[in-house]
Amino acid sequence: SILHRARFTISAAQLSQLPPEGPPEVCFVGRSNAGKSSAINVLTNQRRLAFSSKTPGRTRLINMFGIPDPLEADAQLGYLVDLPGYGYAAVNRQEKQQWDQVLGGYLRTRNSLAGIVLVIDIRRGLTDLDLQLAHWIAPTGRPVLVLLTKADKFAYGKRIQAVAAARKQLKDIGALHALPFSATHRIGIEDATQHIENWISP
């Protein structure tokens, strides 16, 4: 997969620090600890490309991973964009506001945004914060891929139920695709990879 070529490009604390708009971007969002960094790492086939929200520091930033264009030096086919996790309890209001600005600002204003990967812990399902985020996403009209991760924790029947419940909750958002996913047990990886590749090079 072209996703395996992803390389760390830049960390940005503010939208103004992002590279100029251009190649398609696929962003990853989710509650802290939902499994977002594990998903990015397994999809890129790299052990430590994205940092867990348990590691303080870079996880409050927007981290961009470029996928180099094999035909043109220093050009990118696209970017995977790791957005700050939300819902982390130990933050003050000012910090929270800044995150909202970065996250909401990116989702609302980034023209290069080709698709959104929403990472949800299958056992928790969609929380209020996830639905709030979904309301930010809806007006952008961007396609959304929902990864119900840690699916290995559920037997097959419960997995199917959780996927159906998530689809029902999110039915107002345009092009939505929800699937069970597991970074540790490699569930849903091919399906997710195809979606993301399609957004980057249709």
What does the binding site for ligand GDP look like in residue numbers (CB under 6 A)?
30, 32-38, 52-54, 85, 149-150, 152-153, 182-184
Nearest to 136 by CA among 97, 96, 109, 155: 109
Residue with tokens 């699916």: 151
CB of 181 or CB of 199, closer to ligand GDP: 181
d(CA 43, CA 45): 5
CB of 35 or CB of 115, closer to ligand GDP: 35
147-167 burial, b at 16+ Cβ within 10 Å, e below that, comes to bbbbbbebeeeebeebbeebe
Smallest distance from ligand GDP to CB 74, Å: 29
CB of 110 or CB of 150, closer to ligand GDP: 150
CA 20 centroid distance within chain: 20
CB of 42 or CB of 113, closer to ligand GDP: 42
